[in-house]
């Protein structure tokens, strides 16, 4: 014999009811079945709403009653139940109407009447399903649970008198002959015969009570999901069904918000060691979840994640608590007298404070009651008034075998900390079956995804990208990401998703990831952008492992890094402004990065895709010391002077460099030496030297007229006007057998940039095209420098450098 329970969604529509009937028919061919059914989906809420309206003298209760009545009659009609078989249904509906009218007339809705009202949902649904199965010529009997389940009068909601209840159930089923018995869930009577209920979710409990009394082979809970999941699938897309789980694990998960199972359901069947199967009405072939006395041996010590929303944290603290017996007793007695359920408890070993978690709606009642109870201590200054924090949630890790694995708590809290999820309180029992943490309600989705990634996925890290600037370099970066997504997943266990993109006009977001094939169209149809709006959206989306990628040269964008880092949002930048601004700002960004566990990478600030900063950092970390640096750090300037020959127009060469994407949109930034000065300044700072941009000696090769040009177009005009000046520079170099190179150097703590004539025996002489080169002279490389050389400009190589910094995030 089996007991099958079908929830409200399973009997929510005509089509669903037909699926339920098919499952009942198939199962009854193999063995005797008892079917426990809930009210049609949404009916219980409508019944309570109608009662509330009636009690407040609002005649709209009749409209809701009519809706309830017509829904049941319509379903019965569509299931081809003859009118002659609906006498009991009509009797229930008439009783319901009379009860609602009585509430309206006396203007009162007592708890007893509320129970009676709520019972009609199950009474009507069970009647309809029973008669519909008879239409299919099945042997069916309906038994009202009011005749079977007895609760304790005046006790806790749903407290069952098992002695009487078990006797009634065994007596009835020992004499019945039908293969199928339909029983309404949720409803019962108390010891004096008054209709009562087992609480919301009580249909599960009804089924468990019957299953335990009869010691059936299995209890099946049929719902709208394929079992209990590793996390709420509405919040964690990667959540998956748990095939097997122990009673204790299931109880922990159900207490902490797993909606597929009403917590008290487990207790009666656990005592009789009866398996519980959670099955999906809409996918009956799915395996679902089997709950037994044994935990599975699948190797994962954490079985599931769960959460409770809308929590308030109450903190009672003060010197008057320390060492005083009875404080906890008084606190919990006070809450008990107010019928307030305590969900979580934690107390500091110093006994200076006690923290408890309750539901938000009861916080004010608790505050008034506790402050009244401890009024004397508060007045004497021995204790503070009760501190109440709201809009919180509890997240929990659950698993029978967590106690056998070291470091579970450490992994949990480390992962949360790295994603800027602040923990307000922690509770962990000695059994270690549940590790709970109180966090802000707004962080729940991120926390669940972070922890699910850590404990249930194949260590494939998901990084969520927000890219500002999708011009030449930004577009190349998006192409590279699209090209390498599959490789990164398969080889590096890294999943990159671009969530937001922006240019100077519009921005576009997709929280599930932007299609990189159509990003241009999406952006064209995006909303009007602003730096503040873009950054605020990143913070509001609150995604785990978020990375902001700055592919602009915008000062306002650079100034926003600090707020992002404070929100534990990593920053990858090719924008040099932030790291070459005032030293205190540079130092503050580095400090914020460490403080909030938010990586701040800017490799492309100096050498596009070349590993210059990374190499320098590795030298410093290994204990080496920088003596001097000499470098050609501008791919654009190197391109210009490699292509500028005596007799050529300097104007034309610069135009060519800009056209090929080797210069900034404003080439004056490159040719004035400001760009190179910023780069050598960043290297000096990474070497540990505190300098600012005005400390860099800049020896310009441009004329005064060039430097004072009012616009880019005007700048090009001055290049033509002063062409003789540039011809002289190249002529002198040729006469000396030298090459012109724009060189940056750090020596004796001083920085200098300027155009130099490089002779043939120097490493810079044969530097071709747009290449960069850096010579590091250190304590270890004091005779022959450490040389880094390669392409230092261009959209592809700069995008590649940004991409490398993004990939480095997988280790954080």
Segment 436-448, tens digit of pLDDT: 999 999 999 999 9
Point out which residues pair with 292 in neighbouring strands: 246
Q: Which residue is listed with tokens 């010691």? A: 215
Model confidence over 139-191: pLDDT tens digits? 999 999 999 999 987 655 568 999 999 999 999 999 888 999 999 999 999 98
Taking the C-alpha atoms of residue 670 and residue 679, their distance in angstroms, rounded to an integer, is 11
**443/532 same-domain check:** no
- The pLDDT, as a whole number, for residue 791 is 87
CB 242 within 8 A of CB 278: no
Handedness of CA 513, 530, 799, 493 (dihedral sign): negative
Whether residues 412 and 476 share a domain: the answer is no
In a domain, 193, yes or no: yes
Interacting residues of 407 by C-beta distance below 8 A, sequence separation 6+: none
Only one residue has tokens 């809420």, namely: 45
- 801 belongs to a structural domain: no
Query: Does 516 have pLDDT greater than 80?
Result: yes
Q: Which residue has the tokens 């007893």?
A: 112
What is the CATH number for 645? 3.30.360.10
| Res 327: pLDDT | 87
Q: Report the pLDDT value the prediction gives residue 156, as an integer from 0 to 100.
A: 54
Residues 338, 377 contacting (CB under 8 angstroms):
no
pLDDT of 430 over the 60 cut:
no
Which CATH number fits the domain that encloses residue 218?
A: 3.40.1160.10
Across the range 754-778, mean pLDDT stands at 93
Of the three residues 552, 575, 604, the one that is the final residue of a domain is: 604
Mean pLDDT of 386-414: 86
Give alpha helix (H) positions in 341-461.
Answer: 363-373, 375-379, 408-418, 444-455
Q: Quick one: CA dihedral 5, 7, 9, 15, positive or negative?
A: positive
Dihedral of CA atoms 450, 451, 453, 454 in degrees, nearest 10, equals 120
Tell me: the pLDDT tens digits for 645-684?
Answer: 999 999 999 999 999 888 888 899 889 999 999 999 999 9
Q: How confident is the model at residue 524 (pLDDT cuts 50, 70, 90)?
A: very high
Q: Is residue 466 pLDDT above 80, yes or no? A: yes
Can you give the pLDDT at residue 525? 94
Judge whether 749 lies within some domain. yes
718 vs 703: CA distance, rounded Å: 9
pLDDT at 431 exceeding the cut of 70: no
pLDDT of residue 281: 94
Regarding whether 146 and 100 lie in a shared domain, the answer is yes
The pLDDT, as a whole number, for residue 403 is 67
Q: Is residue 514 part of a domain?
A: yes
Query: Residue 136: is its pLDDT beyond 60?
Result: yes
Average pLDDT value for residue range 259-268: 82
Instruction: List pLDDT tens digits, range 608-637.
Output: 889 999 999 999 999 999 999 999 999 889
CA 603, 608, 613, 615 dihedral sign is: positive
Q: Are residues 335 and 406 in the same domain?
A: yes
Residue 235 tokens, joined: 């919040």
Same structural domain, 450 and 466: no
What tens digit of pLDDT does each residue of 225-258 get? 899 999 988 889 888 889 999 998 888 888 665 6
Range of the domain at 82: 2-223
In a domain, 199, yes or no: yes
Does 679 qualify as catalytic in the annotation?
yes
Res. 401: pLDDT tops 80: no
Compute the residue count for the chain. 812
Residue that is last in its domain, among 455, 483, 517: 455
CA-wise closest residue to 470 among 508, 512, 525 = 508
| Same domain, residue pair 451 and 531 | no
Rounded to an integer, the average pLDDT of 695-719 is 95
Say if residues 523 and 515 touch (Cβ distance below 8 Å). Answer: no
Neighbours of 264 (CB within 10 A): 22
Provide the CATH number for the domain around residue 500.
3.40.50.720
Residues 380, 498, single domain; the answer is: no
Mean pLDDT computed over 417-421: 87
Q: At what angle do helices 14-28 and 61-78 cross, to 10 degrees?
A: 50
| Domain match, 734 and 587 both | no
Q: Is residue 572 part of a domain?
A: yes
Q: What are phi and psi of 796, to 5 degrees?
A: -65, -45
Say if residue 702 is in the same domain as residue 779.
yes
Six-digit token string for 492: 């590096």
Total tally of structural domains belonging to the chain: 4
pLDDT bin (cut points 50, 70, 90) of residue 54 is very high
534 is a domain residue = yes
Given 303, 630, 679, 741, the catalytic residue: 679
CA dihedral of 450, 452, 456, 460, whole degrees rounded to 10: -40
- Give the whole-number percent of the chain exceeding pLDDT 90: 76
> Is 263 within a domain?
no
Question: Residue 298 above 60 pLDDT?
Answer: no
Same domain, 383 and 479: no
- Percent of the chain beyond pLDDT 70? 97
Question: Which pLDDT band holds residue 783 (cuts at 50, 70, 90)?
Answer: confident
769 with 633, same domain: the answer is yes
Domain final residue pick, 455, 476, 506: 455
For residue 744, the cross-strand partners are 631, 753
Does residue 125 sit in the same domain as residue 179?
A: yes
pLDDT digits (tens, 9 = 90+) for 751-765: 999 999 999 999 999
């Amino acid at each position: 014999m089996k007991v099958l329970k079908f929830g409200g969604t399973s009997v929510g529509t005509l089509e669903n009811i037909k699926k339920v009937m098919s499952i009942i028919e198939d199962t009854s061919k193999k063995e005797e079945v008892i079917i426990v059914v809930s009210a049609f989906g949404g009916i219980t809420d409508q019944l309570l709403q109608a009662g509330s309206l009636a009690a407040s003298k609002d005649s709209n209760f009749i409209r809701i009653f009519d809706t309830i009545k017509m829904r049941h009659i319509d379903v019965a009609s569509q299931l081809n139940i003859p009118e002659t078989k609906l006498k009991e249904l009509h009797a229930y509906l008439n009783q319901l109407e009379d009860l609602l009218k009585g509430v309206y007339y006396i203007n009162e809705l007592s708890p007893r009447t509320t129970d009676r009202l709520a019972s009609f949902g199950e009474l009507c649904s069970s009647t309809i399903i029973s008669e519909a199965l008879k239409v299919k010529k099945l042997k069916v009997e309906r038994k009202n649970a009011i005749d079977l389940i007895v609760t304790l009068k005046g006790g806790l909601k749903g407290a069952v008198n098992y002695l009487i209840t078990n006797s009634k159930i065994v007596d009835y089923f020992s004499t019945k002959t039908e293969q199928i018995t339909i029983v309404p869930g949720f409803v019962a009577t108390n010891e004096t015969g008054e209709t009562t209920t087992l609480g919301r979710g009580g249909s599960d409990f009804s089924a468990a009570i019957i299953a335990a009394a009869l010691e059936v082979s299995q209890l099946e809970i049929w719902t709208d999901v394929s079992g209990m999941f590793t996390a709420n699938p509405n919040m964690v897309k990667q959540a998956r069904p748990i095939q097997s789980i122990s009673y204790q694990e299931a109880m922990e998960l159900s207490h902490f918000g797993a909606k597929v199972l009403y917590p008290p359901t487990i207790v009666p069947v656990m005592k009789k060691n009866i398996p519980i199967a959670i099955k999906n009405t809409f996918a009956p072939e799915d395996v679902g979840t089997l709950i037994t006395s044994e935990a599975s041996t699948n190797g994962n010590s954490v079985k599931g994640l769960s959460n409770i929303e809308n929590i308030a944290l109450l903190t009672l603290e003060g010197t008057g608590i320390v060492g005083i017996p009875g404080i906890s007793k008084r606190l919990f007695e006070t809450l008990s007298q107010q019928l307030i359920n305590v969900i979580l408890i934690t107390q500091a070993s110093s006994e200076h404070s006690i923290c408890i978690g309750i539901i938000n709606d009861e916080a004010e009642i608790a505050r008034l009651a506790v402050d009244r109870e401890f009024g004397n201590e508060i007045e004497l200054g021995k204790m503070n008034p009760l501190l109440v924090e709201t809009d919180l949630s509890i997240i929990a890790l659950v698993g029978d075998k967590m106690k056998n694995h070291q470091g579970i708590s450490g992994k949990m809290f480390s992962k949360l900390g790295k994603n800027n999820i602040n923990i307000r309180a922690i509770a962990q029992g000695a059994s270690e079956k549940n590790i709970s943490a109180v966090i802000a309600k707004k962080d729940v989705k991120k926390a669940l995804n972070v922890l699910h990634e850590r404990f249930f996925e194949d260590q494939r890290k998901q990084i969520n990208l927000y890219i500002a600037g999708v011009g030449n370099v930004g577009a190349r970066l998006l192409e590279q990401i699209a090209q390498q997504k599959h490789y990164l997943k398969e080889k590096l266990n890294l999943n990159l998703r671009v969530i937001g993109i922006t240019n100077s006009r519009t921005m576009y977001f997709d929280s599930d990831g932007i299609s990189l094939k159509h990003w241009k169209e999406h952006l064209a149809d995006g909303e009007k952008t602003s730096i503040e709006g873009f950054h605020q959206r990143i913070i509001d989306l609150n995604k785990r492992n978020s990375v902001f990628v700055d592919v602009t040269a915008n000062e306002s964008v650079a100034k926003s890094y600090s707020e992002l880092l404070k929100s534990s949002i990593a920053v990858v930048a090719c924008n040099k402004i932030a790291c070459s601004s005032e030293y205190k700002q540079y130092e503050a960004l580095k400090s914020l990065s460490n403080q909030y566990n938010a990586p701040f990478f800017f490799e492309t600030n100096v050498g596009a895709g070349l590993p210059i900063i990374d190499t320098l950092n590795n030298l410093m970390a290994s204990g080496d010391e920088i003596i001097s640096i000499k470098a050609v750090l501008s791919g654009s300037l190197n391109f210009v002077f490699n292509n500028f020959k005596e007799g050529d127009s300097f104007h034309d060469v610069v135009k060519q460099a800009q056209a090929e994407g080797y210069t900034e949109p404003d080439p004056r930034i490159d040719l004035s030496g400001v760009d190179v000065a910023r780069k050598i300044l960043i290297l000096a700072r990474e070497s540990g030297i505190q300098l600012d941009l005005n400390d860099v000696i800049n020896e310009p090769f441009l004329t005064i007229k060039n430097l004072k040009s009012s616009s880019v177009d005007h700048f090009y005009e001055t290049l033509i006007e002063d062409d003789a000046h540039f011809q002289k520079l190249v002529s002198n170099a040729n006469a000396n057998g030298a090459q012109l190179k724009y060189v940056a150097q750090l020596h004796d703590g001083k920085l200098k940039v300027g155009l130099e004539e490089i002779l043939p025996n120097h490493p810079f002489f044969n530097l071709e095209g747009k290449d960069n080169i850096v010579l590091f002279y250190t304590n270890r490389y004091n005779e022959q420098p450490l040389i880094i050389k390669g392409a230092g400009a261009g959209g592809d190589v700069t995008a590649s450098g940004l991409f490398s910094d993004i990939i480095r995030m997988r280790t954080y």
